[in-house]
């Protein structure tokens, strides 16, 4: 039986950095499910699909798979590695839109479940503890204030040539939070049995240590 750890939380809470580090420490595979929604958004954009019907129809030609090289996840769209192309603000917003569609969630459900059945995984997303892996061995809900998340995202992007302003980033974060929390299917929410970790006043190393401690206490890892 594989061991499954679910990490959910809003955009910019640091899920991916933390999950990657904890997975490396435990020798688990880190699965970033947001990348799957981003890839659907990229495919829809390339196909010119805009309405829910068009987006659902274009799933027929979306051949999405994950592979791992030296512990790093790569996402393939029809054989092309699109891991870099999906990290733009435009695709972030588009991913939020496609992720509200039941057809898209259903389409990605099996892929996520297969990964978790076959491997010891730390899987991050919005509905991992509530919908995808309701029987996960450990569930974490990782969050931070919107202002702190915007500040972190700004620091991350500030090296890039067309870095948006802090105000713009905060506005996007609030907009995405609202969309992710209020959608009808699989909204972002904390599972009843998830451990809440608010990282607003913690640095990365403290969060990683805290999660490793939880894994030791609860799973004996
Ligand atoms: O974590 P991220 O920013 O890469 O996610 C991109 C979008 O996908 C985000 O708006 C929420 C959505 N998403 C989701 O609905 N369910 C998941 N399990 C992961 C991401």
Tokens of 46: 């390339």
Question: Quick check: 150 pLDDT over 90?
Answer: yes
Radius of gyration of the chain (CA): 17
Q: Is 133 in the pocket of ligand 1 (CB under 6 A)?
A: no
Question: Quick check: 162 pLDDT over 90?
Answer: no
Q: Is 14 in the pocket of ligand 1 (CB under 6 A)?
A: no
Strand partners, 196: 141
Residue 83 in contact with residue 73, Cβ under 8 Å?
yes
Q: What are the E-state strand segments in the chain?
A: 4-8, 29-32, 64-69, 72-77, 80-81, 121-125, 138-143, 195-198
Pick the atom of ligand 1 nearest to 37's CA: 8
What lies within 8 Å, CB to CB, of 8 at 6+ separation is 15, 124, 125, 126, 127, 128, 129, 130, 139, 140, 141, 142, 188, 190, 191, 194
pTM above 0.85, yes or no: yes
Q: From residue 52, give the alpha-carbon distance in Å to each of 58, 109, 182.
A: 10, 18, 17
Tokens of 155: 């620091």
Q: pLDDT tens, 39-63?
A: 999 999 999 999 999 999 999 999 9
Question: Quick check: 198 pLDDT over 90?
Answer: yes
Q: Specify the pLDDT at position 89.
A: 85
Q: Is 30 in the pocket of ligand 1 (CB under 6 A)?
A: no
Q: pLDDT tens, 111-136?
A: 999 999 999 999 999 999 999 999 99
């Amino acid at each position: 039986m594989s061991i499954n750890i679910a990490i959910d939380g809003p955009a910019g809470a640091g899920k991916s950095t933390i999950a990657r580090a904890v997975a490396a420490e435990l020798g688990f595979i880190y699965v970033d499910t947001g990348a799957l929604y981003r890839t659907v958004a990229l495919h829809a954009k390339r196909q010119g699909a805009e309405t829910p019907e068009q987006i659902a129809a274009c799933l027929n030609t979306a051949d999405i798979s994950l592979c791992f090289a030296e512990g790093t996840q790569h996402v393939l769209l029809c054989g092309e590695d699109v891991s870099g192309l999906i990290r733009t603000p435009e695709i972030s917003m588009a991913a939020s839109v496609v992720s509200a569609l039941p057809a898209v969630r259903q389409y990605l459900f099996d892929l996520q479940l297969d990964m978790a059945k076959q491997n010891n995984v730390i899987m991050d997303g919005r509905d991992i503890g509530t919908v995808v892996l309701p029987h996960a061995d450990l569930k974490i809900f990782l969050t931070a204030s919107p202002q702190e998340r915007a500040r972190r995202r700004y620091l991350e992007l500030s090296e890039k040539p067309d870095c948006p302003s802090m105000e713009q980033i905060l506005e996007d974060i609030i907009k995405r939070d609202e969309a992710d929390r209020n959608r009808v299917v699989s909204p972002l929410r904390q599972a009843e049995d998830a451990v809440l970790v608010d990282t607003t006043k913690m640095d990365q190393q403290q969060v990683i240590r805290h999660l490793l401690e939880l894994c030791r206490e609860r799973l004996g890892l």
